[in-house]
Structure 1
Amino acid sequence: MGSAEVAAGPPDGSVDARLAARLGELRGERGWSLEELAERSGVSRSTLSRVERAELSPTAAMLGKLCTVYERTMSRLLSEVEREPPGLVRAGRQEVWADTSAGFVRRSVSPPHAGLRGEVIEGELLPGAAIAYDAPPVPGLEHHVWVLDGAVEITVGEETHGLRRGDCVRFRLWGPSRYHCPGPAAVRYAVVVVLP
């Protein structure tokens, strides 16, 4: 799933369709027009409309902006569109979301659950790919990033950390962040996120 248009829209009940519906619900719960959401998020009104109608799949960057506006982590938002949040999450049932245009795949290994403050995410970036976020969805969000394979450059604020297989960096996120795979191979990493 990337930013490419989907002619007939995703099948009813798909992650894309449920995500589109949830984004529309969140805007409705706040009583915001598309224009107001566009102003708050920096995403155009027409793009937001197409995303909410499931005519366009959001990119990772766009979801990051919407999560910031709605004060949710991306995992929290994606967990809200799961059918049911089980305690045991089998590998084959873990939600996978992809931004193919950015070369990014995100697996929710241990999604958010009521009463729990942490979650585990697996990310994969293709060589040369980068994803950037303007701000954290929740200020002070604690991150522990452990590289499973490959290499990644993680920029937090103005500091860049080069990590290779087995390396781990941990930080609280207060501002912008960026993940970049310098190559030559894809990078796979685990992120443990803990709400403040």
Structure 2
Amino acid sequence: MKQQEARPKPDPVDARLGDRLAELRAERGWSLGELAERSGVSKSTLSRAERAETSPTASLLNRLCAVYGRTMSQLLSEVEAAPARVVRAADQQVWEDPAAGFVRRSVSPPHAALRGELVEGRLAPGADIAYDRPPVPGLEQHLWILEGELDVTDGETEHHLTVGDCLRMRVWGATRFRCAGPRAARYVLAVVLP
């Protein structure tokens, strides 16, 4: 008798995230097909993300956040316990998209009574992440470069940012973040809901 190989256990964050994504879809009464049409993501990819068979990419989460009307930090905070007023560095939620070379740390947790949050981002040299739309139209962002260089495209406008530079923008359309320098880029992103 052939023994079946055991599938590795999903990452706990991916498992909770998958459960939350399935809940959000169920709350709206949508099938996978309906969500696929609304998000532009294939049914099989959505299904694998909900079952935590794969770790969702930043681009995938952005598309789903746009459909569900929340920021990525809000979505990630929904898979944590109730947010604390003080979040110690060791307890801050870290999420990675290894294929894209992107690491995201939720420095200040989103809170229902607050409109702003802080995120630390790191992009590996050569990393290039494009979002086709903001998770929430009109989202205000302040991007402050701590290390390296970053090329940011907001709509049709490209900005080359170096250490100490701060880009302020209200996001209505596509954006792109590219680490073109030889070193990783590290930045703080302040996100404010409209």
Cα distance between partner residues in 1 of 2:114 and 2:70: 15
Q: State the SS of the aligned residue for 2:137.
A: coil
> Structure 1 stretches (4+) deviating beyond 3 angstroms?
none
Cα distance between partner residues in 1 of 2:108 and 2:57: 22
Task: Please state if 1:36 is matched with 2:34.
Answer: yes
Structure with higher Rg: it is: 2
Quote how far apart the aligned CAs of 1:8 are: 2.7
Quote how far apart the aligned CAs of 1:137 are: 1.0
Matched with 1:3 is none
User: Given the two structures, how large is their TM-score scaled by the length of structure 2?
Assistant: 0.95
Equivalent pair of 1:110/1:120 in contact (CA under 8 Å): yes
What amino acid is the match of 2:47? S
Quote how far apart the aligned CAs of 1:10 are: 1.4
Give the superposed CA RMSD: 1.1
The answer for unaligned runs of 5 or more in structure 2 is 1-5
Matched with 1:195 is 193
Matched with 1:137 is 135
Equivalent pair of 1:8/1:55 in contact (CA under 8 Å): no
Matched with 2:165 is 167
Equivalent pair of 1:7/1:55 in contact (CA under 8 Å): no
User: Given the two structures, how large is their TM-score scaled by the length of structure 1?
Assistant: 0.94
Q: State the SS of the aligned residue for 1:110.
A: coil
What amino acid is the match of 1:108? S
Matched with 2:3 is none
Matched with 1:54 is 52
Residues 6-17 of structure 1 aligned to structure 2 (within 5 Å) = 7-10=7-10, 14-17=12-15
Cα distance between partner residues in 1 of 2:147 and 2:174: 24
Residues 1-196 of structure 1 aligned to structure 2 (within 5 Å) = 7-10=7-10, 14-196=12-194
| Matched-pair identity in % | 65
The answer for unaligned runs of 5 or more in structure 1 is 1-5
